[in-house]
């Protein structure tokens, strides 16, 4: 049986595009009394054009995300994280991962000036969950959810993003980290997979742990 509470007070759920981070946040939000902070890509007015012409719209897209993500994280500091659990479907550091991938050298220099002013102010999660999957699985999930603006996504771009995330979390050590291989599980459709995942989340306390479930 799963617990009726989540033990970590501030959880950030991460993963490449299509990993299922927003789905997991939504499922946990339905089961537990938590504050949910969602990253809504569709609110970015440049995202459609970015997937069609990355070179021309990368900087505008990235700066919008940076400032929006900063505001969401800073709103957390104005809430009482001790009285309720907060779930965020991204880690603040994700923004710079995409900036490195998408911006020119000159754009990245300007971006980093702003990023350095903001990043030290945001609160750190008690636990980061990294949902890991291979690129083939990610592509299948992206096709299944059929978001219009993702129809223009270059498969090579998705591969590069996935490699970037895996490399980042291989070296990540700022907070407790739970790395979950999601290739073989379906926590959206299968309740037993979700329950097993919740048990693992509640049992993780310090350091890094890899969880490789085979699914139900």
Residues 6+ apart with CB under 8 A from 201: 6, 7, 8, 11, 127, 129, 178
**Helix (H) and strand (E) counts in the chain:** 8, 6
Angle at the Cα of 115 (from 109 to 120), degrees rounded to 5?
140
Taking Cα atoms as reference points, which of 146, 65, 142 lies closest to residue 102?
Answer: 65
Fold of 10-211: Rossmann fold (3.40.50)
214 or 124, which is more confident?
124
**Cα 107 to chain centroid, rounded:** 23
Lookup result for tokens 């990540």: 172
215 within 8 A of 186, measured Cβ to Cβ: yes
pLDDT, one tens digit per residue, over 139-192 is: 988 888 877 777 677 889 899 999 999 999 999 999 999 999 999 988 988 999
Residue 68 confidence (pLDDT): 93
Spatial CA neighbour of 97 closest among 36, 20, 159, 162:
162
Q: What is the dihedral of CA 158, 193, 84, 68, to 10 degrees?
A: 10
Has residue 216 got a pLDDT over 60? no
Please give the backbone phi and psi of residue 14, each rounded to the nearest 5 degrees, phi first: -125, 170
- Distance between alpha carbon 20 and the CA centroid of its chain, in Å? 9
Say if residue 2's pLDDT is above 60.
no
Average pLDDT, the chain: 88
């Amino acid at each position: 049986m799963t617990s009726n509470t989540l033990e970590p007070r501030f959880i950030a759920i991460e993963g490449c595009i299509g990993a299922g981070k927003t789905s997991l946040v939504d499922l946990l939000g339905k089961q537990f009394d938590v504050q949910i902070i969602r990253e809504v890509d569709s609110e970015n007015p440049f995202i459609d054009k970015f997937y069609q012409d990355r070179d021309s719209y990368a900087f505008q897209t990235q700066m919008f995300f940076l400032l929006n993500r900063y505001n969401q994280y800073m709103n957390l500091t104005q809430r009482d994280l001790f009285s309720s659990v907060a779930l965020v479907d991204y880690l603040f550091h994700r923004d710079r991962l995409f900036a490195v991938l998408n911006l020119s050298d000159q754009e990245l220099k300007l971006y980093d000036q702003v990023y350095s002013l903001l990043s030290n102010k945001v609160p750190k999660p008690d636990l980061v969950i990294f949902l890991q999957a291979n690129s083939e699985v990610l592509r299948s999930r992206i096709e299944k959810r059929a978001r219009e603006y993702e129809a223009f996504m270059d498969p090579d771009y998705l591969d590069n993003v996935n490699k970037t995330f895996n490399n980042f979390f291989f070296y990540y050590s700022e907070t407790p980290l739970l790395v979950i291989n999601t290739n073989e599980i379906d926590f959206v459709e299968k309740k037993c997979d979700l329950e097993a995942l919740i048990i693992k989340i509640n049992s993780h306390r310090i350091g890094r742990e890899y969880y490789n479930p085979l699914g139900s």
